[in-house]
Amino acid sequence: MKLEFHSNKDFWAGAMFIAIGAGAMFSARNYPFGTSLRIGPGYYPIILSGILIAFGLYVMLRGLRKNEKIQGNWSIRALIVLPFSMVLFGILMKLAGFIPALIALCFVSAASGREFKFTEVLLLTIFLGALSVTLFVWGLGLPYPLIRKF
Amino acid sequence: MEIFDNLIFGFSVALTYENLLYCFIGCFLGTLIGVLPGIGPTATVAMLMPITFVLSPVAAMIMLAGIFYGAEYGGSTTAILVNLPGEMSSVITCIDGHQMARQGRAGPALAIAAIGSFFAGTVCTLIIALFGPLIADMALMFTSTEYFSLMMMGLVFAAMLAQGDVVKSLAMVVLGLLMGCVGTDVDSGFRRFSFDIIELSDGIGFLVIAIGIFAMSEIMAHLSDPEENTILTSDVRRLLPSKDDIKRSIGPIIRGTGLGAFFGVLPGTGPTIAAFSSYIVEKRLAKDPSRFGKGAIEGVAGPEAANNADSQCKFIPMLTLGLPASATMALLLGALMIHGIAPGPTVMTLRPDLFWGLIASMWVGNLMLLILNLPLVGIWVSLLKVPYRRLFPAIMVFSCIGIYSLNNSPFELYLTAFFGIIGFVLIKFECSPVPLILGFVLGPMMEENLRRALLGSRGDPTIFLTRPISLGFIIATILVVIVVSLPVLRKKRGSIIID
């Protein structure tokens, strides 16, 4: 029987749980464990990590037996561009102000989809920009400069 | 009668101009996102929550609750008119609702769906008013031992009864609990899992996780597997149902409300299960079951009443015990805590304005939804023509501004982006994110209760088995585990989800 690891849903799900559990247990190894009477900061996380590893092992072994495939597609573009648009928004809010950050967010996040129509995105940006400036900056009074002066 | 005094007091809170306005905004937004497929109530509540931090706690809760139950109403509109569930819970409504629309009876289907939901909403408002205080009174006797067992029961129930694989759901609960450990330990001041990142010493914000896992990853999943939105809108000509329609719908609405209320208080069972069971019951009870699937009005009336009853009764455990029964309830619980209100049975005595005001506002909101949904149905339908590529940048803008405003720092945005990717991977592994958020919100409270319970029992863990109420919770937990793992039921459960 040939096993295809790269798309085995439960194998990887289990592996993920084990990895997180093991990582958590490793990080928590020096936290004071305490006693049952007076549990320390390490008590609860270490027990939880142990349980998580156990569940992970079960899911992983079951995955090897059943070998069910991961469904659907992975849009690598969305996976990279969408988080990047958020990071960019965060950086620009600090450096350049509300409006530049918003424009970057709209354009970059729109670019993570398959269709990108420049005029449409531009109009959307203007609409969302006007709405959020009115609502957040003027309405709720969030203290963000619209454009930061250098 | 005390209950009427309480309700009148509640209405006096809910009917102030301010609260009416926020109730309306909540219901309006709820309907909007309910109609639009591709954005759910959980993501919306998370996305808009930062805006509500400037409001009073009462107004904030009223608005957020409105989004939640408003989405149930809106979801049915899409289901009936375009055979596309606007929300997951409307899957069942699609079956007969859309057939009715094809036969030119979209109007009566919409009207019955709205009336059924309104009836269920009214009954559940009364149920909460009646049973809420009783449950809270009982819960006042609970010590940390009972709370720990209760929370464990809630989490296990949620994992067992939620859709998806049971073991993976349990693992997600544990993962959520573990993520709740991040930050400074309340008891010892010890920093856990903060990896010397100063921003993590306060823990991970629950909105960061909620927006990352529910909003961001949903967008990524949509962009990966775009659904073709072919909109075939049916004309809504005649809105009023015939006498026969009404006569046929009364029974299903009443039964659906009952089923929905029952499933509502159970953690983990989403409105889909309530709607589905109601559909099955109506089909069994029908004189001519073959009408189902071909536009039987009973198949719209029952499930619509059931899913609305379910979503309203989800408030009972949240408001009286501080136990969230769904992901949205976990978020509302988090909102309460951010407003400095400790969840639990004391909410009712310490903040009666919040408790009774919220309940009364739900009834007011249901009335608003009836008006919003029926005459304005044309406006909602035209919204369906907005393509997803114009929608998701808007979700991004609101989410990012909301996240940034939490601390006025970009760090939370980086973290949200990270959780977005994690959430997408979880979707691909078919691990439900709902148990994770429940575990995350309850995690710190569970640890605190465990610590206190063990301290009280001088380190003896059998205390959870020797106190009768706690023992009851544990027995109930074990029973559910056994029942759900029985091979016979396991197969049935699988077929329910496939259906």
Identify whether A26 is part of a domain. yes
Say if residue B282's pLDDT is above 80: yes
Distance CA A42, CA A28 (A): 6
Backbone angles phi, psi at B183, to 5 degrees: 115, -170
- Which residue in B160, B391, B396 has the most chain A C-beta atoms within 10 A of its own C-beta, making it the best mutation to test that interface? B396
Mean pLDDT, range B101-130, rounded to an integer: 88
Mean pLDDT, range B119-138, rounded to an integer: 90
Question: Do residues A148 and A97 touch, judged by C-beta distance below 8 A?
Answer: yes
Say if residue B483's pLDDT is above 90: no
Domain final position from A43, A66, A89: A66
Mean pLDDT, range B11-27, rounded to an integer: 92
Q: Give one DSSP letter per residue of B110-179, joined into a string.
A: HHHHHHHHHHHHHHHHHHHHHHHHHHHHHHTT--HHHHHHHHHHHHHHHHHHSSS-HHHHHHHHHHHHHH
The first and second tokens of residue A101, run together, are 């950050």
Q: Are residues A46 and A101 in the same domain?
A: no
Q: Does B4 touch chain A (CB under 8 A)?
A: no
Split at pLDDT 50, 70, 90, the class of A147 is confident
What is the pTM (predicted TM-score) of this model? 0.86
- Pick the most confident of A30-34, B118-122, B488-492: B118-122
* H-state helical runs in B286-376: 298-313, 315-321, 327-338, 346-350, 352-373
Identify whether A22 is part of a domain. yes
Q: Are residues A132 and A112 in the same domain?
A: yes
- Which residue in A18, A33, A48, A142 has the most chain B C-beta atoms within 10 A of its own C-beta, making it the best mutation to test that interface? A48
Beta bridge partners of B184: B191
* Contact across the interface for A55 and B425, Cβ inside 8 Å: no
Q: Does A27 touch chain B (CB under 8 A)?
A: yes
The first and second tokens of residue B339, run together, are 């407003």
Q: Are residues A60 and A83 in the same domain?
A: no
- Which residue in B73, B499, B430 sits closest to B273, CA to CA? B499
| Contact residues, B window 385-414, toward A, CB-based 8 Å cutoff | 388-390, 392-394, 396-398, 400-401, 403-405, 408, 410-411, 413-414
Rg of chain B in Å (alpha carbons): 22
A1, burial (CB in 10 Å: exposed 0-12, middle 13-18, buried 19+): exposed
Mean pLDDT, range B24-31, rounded to an integer: 91
Give residue-wise pLDDT tens across range B459-476: 888 889 989 889 999 999
Buried b or exposed e, range B242-275, using 16+ CB within 10 angstroms: eeebbebbeebbbbbbbbbbbbbbbbbbbbbbbb
Instruction: Give the torsion sign (CA, B85, B91, B93, B94).
Output: positive
Which of B178, B404, B429 is closest, CB to CB, to A48? B178
Mean pLDDT, range B277-286, rounded to an integer: 86
Identify whether A120 is part of a domain. yes
Cα A29 to its chain centre, rounded Å, is 26
Percent of chain A with pLDDT over 70: 96
Find the helix or strand (DSSP H, E) in which B314 lies.
none
Cα B308 to its chain centre, rounded Å, is 10
Mean pLDDT, range B389-400, rounded to an integer: 89
Cα B423 to its chain centre, rounded Å, is 19
Identify whether A150 is part of a domain. no
Q: Does B64 touch chain A (CB under 8 A)?
A: no
Mean pLDDT, range A36-55, rounded to an integer: 90
Beta bridge partners of B379: none
Backbone angles phi, psi at B203, to 5 degrees: 90, 170
Q: Are residues A90 and A61 in the same domain?
A: no
Q: Does A62 touch chain B (CB under 8 A)?
A: yes
The counts of H helices and E strands in chain B are 24, 2
Identify whether A1 is part of a domain. no
Give residue-wise pLDDT tens across range B230-256: 555 556 666 778 888 888 888 999 999
B362, burial (CB in 10 Å: exposed 0-12, middle 13-18, buried 19+): buried
Q: Give one DSSP letter per residue of chain A, joined into a string.
A: ----GGGBHHHHHHHHHHHHHHHHHHHTTTS--B-SSSB-TTHHHHHHHHHHHHHHHHHHHHHHHH-PBPPS---HHHHHHHHHHHHHHHHHHHHT-HHHHHHHHHHHHHTTSS---HHHHHHHHHHHHHHHIIIIIIIS-----SS---
Q: Are residues A83 and A119 in the same domain?
A: yes
Distance CA B478, CA B375 (A): 49
Identify whether A49 is part of a domain. yes
Identify whether A98 is part of a domain. yes
pLDDT at B202: 81
Q: Count of residues for chain A?
A: 150
Mean pLDDT, range B58-87, rounded to an integer: 84
- Which residue in B59, B37, B33, B56 sits closest to B46, CA to CA? B33
Distance CA B277, CA B275 (A): 6
Give residue-wise pLDDT tens across range A81-136: 999 999 999 999 988 889 999 999 999 999 988 888 889 999 999 999 999 998 88
Identify whether A149 is part of a domain. no
Split at pLDDT 50, 70, 90, the class of B86 is low
Q: Are residues A82 and A125 in the same domain?
A: yes
pLDDT at B495: 44
Q: Are residues A87 and A119 in the same domain?
A: yes
B480-487's contacts with Cβ under 8 Å and 24+ in sequence apart are: B480/B156, B480/B157, B480/B160, B480/B161, B481/B156, B481/B160, B484/B160, B484/B161, B484/B166, B485/B166
Backbone angles phi, psi at B375, to 5 degrees: -70, -25
Q: Are residues A52 and A84 in the same domain?
A: no
Q: Are residues A88 and A47 in the same domain?
A: no
Q: How many domains does chain A have?
A: 2
| Location of structure tokens 């408790």 | B355
Distance CA B188, CA B202 (A): 14
For residue A38, give its domain range.
9-66
| Contact residues, B window 168-187, toward A, CB-based 8 Å cutoff | 168, 170-171, 174-175, 177-178, 181, 185, 187
Q: Are residues A93 and A113 in the same domain?
A: yes
Is the interface score ipTM higher than 0.90?
yes
Q: How far is CA A137 from CA A94, A127, A145, B14, B48, in A?
A: 15, 15, 9, 28, 15
Q: How far is B343 from chain A (nearest CA, A)?
A: 22
Q: Are residues A44 and A85 in the same domain?
A: no
Say if residue B201's pLDDT is above 70: yes
Q: Give one DSSP letter per residue of B373-425, joined into a string.
A: HTTTHHHHHHHTTS-HHHHHHHHHHHHHHHHHHHHTSTHHHHHHHHHHHHHHH
Identify the DSSP state of B266.
S
The first and second tokens of residue B211, run together, are 């927006």
Q: Are residues A81 and A128 in the same domain?
A: yes
Q: Does B424 touch chain A (CB under 8 A)?
A: yes
Q: Does B418 touch chain A (CB under 8 A)?
A: yes
Q: How far is B394 from chain A (nearest CA, A)?
A: 7
Question: Do residues B92 and B276 touch, judged by C-beta distance below 8 A?
Answer: yes
Split at pLDDT 50, 70, 90, the class of B59 is very high
